[in-house]
Structure 1
Amino acid sequence: MNKIGLGVPPSQSWHKDLARLIDHIRMRNFPEVLNDCLQSLVSFDTLLIATYKHTFKPIVVLSNHPQRMGPALHRYVDQLYLLDPLFNAMQQGLAGGVYRLQEIAPDCFESSDYYRNCYHEFDLVDEIILVIPLENDVSFTLSLGRKSSLGSITRAERNTLSQIFPVISALVHQFWLAQSSDYVHNEESRDAMEYALSTFGSGVLTRREQEITGLILKGHSSKAIAELLEISAGTVKVHRKNIHARLNTGTQSELFSMFLGHLSSLASN
């Protein structure tokens, strides 16, 4: 099928795909049909459809990862979503719409240990995300990943997704009305983010140091942390030095490894 170009109205193939989506709107396989239809509009290598609610663990609705739920995706869903730019942007009230990951990620995301030890394993050079807010504080997300063979998403493809976003959003709302009972967020993980980050370094770090540690782990630079907390960059650097001294770590990688150990200990309790 021909993909929609910049400024070109939806083709006859899109109308056929839309009819197919409507036919499956209340069926369990709607996400698979949606994946097929999106493939006719834009190019992508990977698709992850997931739902988020508050600080619950995300629920994977559909993944076309070659291993369905490979090791990197398992780590993401079980623990490391806490450090993910999309998750944290939604915690800050990210509105519905179409976003490139780089638009919502912290300034030092690609140099963070979360990126190097988890996200990098997805082997993506670009990712565009559709965020659809639903009822009961649930957000339905479609993440379209592109590897080096495709390169970055084009302006035409971005425009295409923006043009059809209201239609996709309306269809997803109807699907959710019929199928939401199959995707129940685990109440036990409700306060996972706050608890994990607030207890990391507990008894060793001050509250301010714990706050800064969380921002470091998410990929924020000292300058960005200073702006977020309305303190000087010099003060942030002093805090970073104290954090490493108190935790007996010398690098950000050691800090990340210690945080992973903390998450594992929480999961085993």
Structure 2
Amino acid sequence: MNEVFRDHKRVAAAIAAVVDAVGHQGFYAIVLETLGQYIDCERWLAIKYSRFSAPEFIVNTSLSHEAVEQYMSHLYRIDPLLRLVTEDRVPSVVTFSLMQNEDDSNVYYDEIFKSGQILDELTLMLPVIGGGYLGFCFDREYTLFNEDEIAFFTALYPIIVAAHAAHMRTESLEGLGALFGNGKVGVLTLGGDNRIIYQNPAWHALAGHAFGNETLEFILSQPELIAVHVEGLIAHWEYSRNVSASATSVRAVFLEQKSEGYIQTDVKEFFEQFYDTYHLSPRERQLVEKTLRGYSMPVIAEKLDLSLGTVRNYKQRLYAKLDITSEREIFSLFMMHMFGQS
């Protein structure tokens, strides 16, 4: 009974801290730090997934500047969370270790995690205005997230969503600055009398002077949430129900530059193209595939029923053919091929 009581106190304390953060300028950082304490995690980030634009970091205490640059340059295109958003089947709470077992292509994202010294990641996906999602991601270096931790976050999820919605309503007075103020998605909010309430810097940059009232009227004449191509951009609008409870007639219009998006092609096709490009033998193909899955040389030897010495010899010849010197370079070379940079 004492253990149950302690669990209830733990949940109540987390709820109190999350609710107390509503309206604070550092809401997202506060909530992430608060939740991280309850699962023994000191590395977290908040990343916003928009309908069409590339993801954007809102808070980051996990990835280095170099890792963020690599992610934003092209690696986001194999982010399993972006795949879930793209396919419109976003779970409330998920871990990377669970996603690995769901789709073969997720296995190779593990190499990106290793470069950031991440073993597992637990993520809460919160819906945001504009049809996107905000991922609260907690990273672990040495241990996987267990069922109790997943259950704890699952129990808290409705409270966190409600607190986030409440925070968005307070932020609406400032144009949702924490989510969109410095972002790449243009946002314009209009009152019931079509009076402009807010424009973020990205709206000014994307719309420019040529984006007049006729263009705006055309966007608003489309059904709610339907995307249209305007001036080389993608535009959509929606009523701000989740943002302004007292002003349901407020409309939010979004302008996005379409990113290359999640790679829809089967990863196996990229492997076949990669093998053909470098004229790899059947055995060399096996070595590349298993290396990218993160298997060590002893495990590869066991799986291929070869001696460790034979695997070393094969790898040396493979390295010479690819003009590389390490396993990490195999991954880099394959990523360059996947994204058309080789």
TM bracket, shorter-chain basis = 0.5 to 0.7
Query: Could you say if the C-alpha distance between residues 51 and 91 of structure 1 is closer, same or farther in structure 2, counting changes exceeding 3 Å?
Result: same
Confirm whether residue 259 of structure 1 aligns to residue 338 of structure 2: yes
User: Deviations for 1:126-176, whole angstroms, at most 9, x for unmatched residues?
Assistant: 21111112222110111111111xx11122211111110100111122223
Where 2:162 maps in the other structure, the secondary structure is helix
1:82 maps to a residue whose letter is R
| Corresponding residue of 1:22 | 19
Q: Which has the higher helix share?
A: 1
- Could you tell me which residue of structure 2 aligns to residue 103 of structure 1? 98
Which residue among 116, 137, 140 is the counterpart of 1:143?
137
**What is the identity, as a one-letter code, of the residue corresponding to 1:182?**
G
Q: Unaligned 5+ residue runs, structure 2?
A: 186-254, 289-329
CA distance, structure 1, for counterparts of residue 47 and residue 163 of structure 2 = 16
Report the counterpart of residue 193 of structure 1 in structure 2: 261
Query: Following the alignment from structure 1 to structure 2, what is the Cα–Cα distance between the partners of residues 154 and 115?
Result: 18
- Residues 180-201 of structure 1 deviation map (CA, whole Å, 9 limit, x = unaligned): 442534456424227xx6xxxx
1:173 counterpart = 2:165: yes
Higher strand share: 2
Q: Indicate which of 66, 77, 81 corresponds to 1:82.
A: 77
Residue 59 of structure 1 is aligned with which of 34, 56, 64? 56
User: CA contact under 8 A between 2:53 and 2:257: conserved in structure 1?
Assistant: yes
Task: Tell me the percent identity.
Answer: 13
Match for 1:172: what amino acid? H
Partners of 1:91 and 1:172 in 2: CA distance: 22
**2:40 alignment partner in structure 1:** 43
RMSD: 3.1
Amino acid at match of 2:266: L
- Code of the aligned partner of 2:125: V
Q: With CA pairs under 8 Å and 6+ residues apart, which has the higher RCO, 1 or 2?
A: 1
Cα 1:7–1:146 change in 2 (3 A) is farther
| CA distance 1:6–1:160, change in 2 (3 Å) | farther
Long gaps (5+) in structure 1: 198-210, 217-221, 223-235, 264-269
Secondary structure of 2:123's aligned partner: strand
Aligned equivalents of 2:183 and 2:17: distance in 1? Answer: 27
The change in CA–CA distance for 1:141 and 1:241 in structure 2 (over 3 A counts) is closer
1:50 deviates by 0.8
1:161 maps to what in 2? 153
> Computing the radius of gyration over CA atoms, which structure comes out larger, 1 or 2?
2
Local SS of the residue matching 1:176:
helix
Q: Give runs of aligned pairs for residues 101-250 of structure 1, distance below 5 A.
A: 101-105=96-100, 106-107=103-104, 109-110=106-107, 112=108, 114-116=109-111, 118-148=112-142, 151-177=143-169, 178=171, 179=176, 180-182=179-181, 184-186=183-185, 189-193=257-261, 214-216=265-267, 222=268, 241=272, 244-245=275-276, 247=277, 250=280
